[in-house]
Structure 1
Amino acid sequence: MWRQAATEVFPGVGFRDPAEASGLVAAETRLGRRLPAELRQLLLESDGVTGHFHVDTVWPIDRIVETNLLFRSDEAFTQLYMPFDAFLFFGDNGGGDQFAFVRQPERPDIFVWEHESDSRRWVANDLLDYLGRALRTGDDDWFRP
């Protein structure tokens, strides 16, 4: 389902081998929370999605884990930015801005974190909407007003 949806928007989309279910369970243990159901389903079809210009529109599970753990524990980040605890980051635009599910309160919406201003803004209704928007144009600023 996810491969087909992404390919319909951008025929040049890149896929990886599927993630292992056991790897997702291990990732959830390390993160201390379950992955959103739709992200879990996508990762079981492809461990990440590569969009225009080889941008990691959806990261592989290892990067999801490492980035989220870093953002929650790095002392420099805690001094520079508002807390990231409410987010589960899973992709980027290739220019430093990153996309995340809101985990507190849990909902399907996707937000962007703009690293230069530390702003956090809604950009998509859910993962399917995000993929459609991110893969449609090939513009790394697709989410800007």
Structure 2
Amino acid sequence: MGNHVNLVKLCVGAEKVEDLTAWQNMRRGLTGLPNPRHVTRMWPKREAELLDGGSLYWVFKGLILARQRILHLDEVIGQDGIRRCALVLDPQVVRTESQPRRAFQGWRYLSPEDAPRDLKEGTDPNQDPLPAKLASALADIGIR
């Protein structure tokens, strides 16, 4: 992977990672598409960097908990005639260390240095060693 950049987005309507995977599986069953897609209003200006190994990091109830690799971007024209961007994602949802994130609209860029690490295989995702408040305080001073 070269000089990539990531996106971070609130996972609206989902309280946990399993909600996201269930919804994506249901949508893929309805559409017949092999990969999950997330349609967004704005087309990322840093497209080349996203496609150089970037992921979409999902925020659940104030915490980044998972990511999906961005495979490519597709143009989608809505029923209203407006051009939108479909982020075509790898179906594999990778759990990450939890990282506090305040609410925001749309999506934001996330540098690889600021992204939470993937959880090691076999790690219990429900057992974060630090309480959310402490993790947030550490993140605010740049330690976690």
- The question of a shared fold, defined as TM-score above 0.5 by the shorter chain, is answered with no
TM-score (norm. length: structure 1): 0.31
Q: Which has the larger radius of gyration?
A: 2
- From the two aligned structures, give the one with the greater helix fraction: 1
Which of 1 and 2 has higher RCO (CA within 8 Å, sep 6+)? 2
TM-score (norm. length: structure 2): 0.31
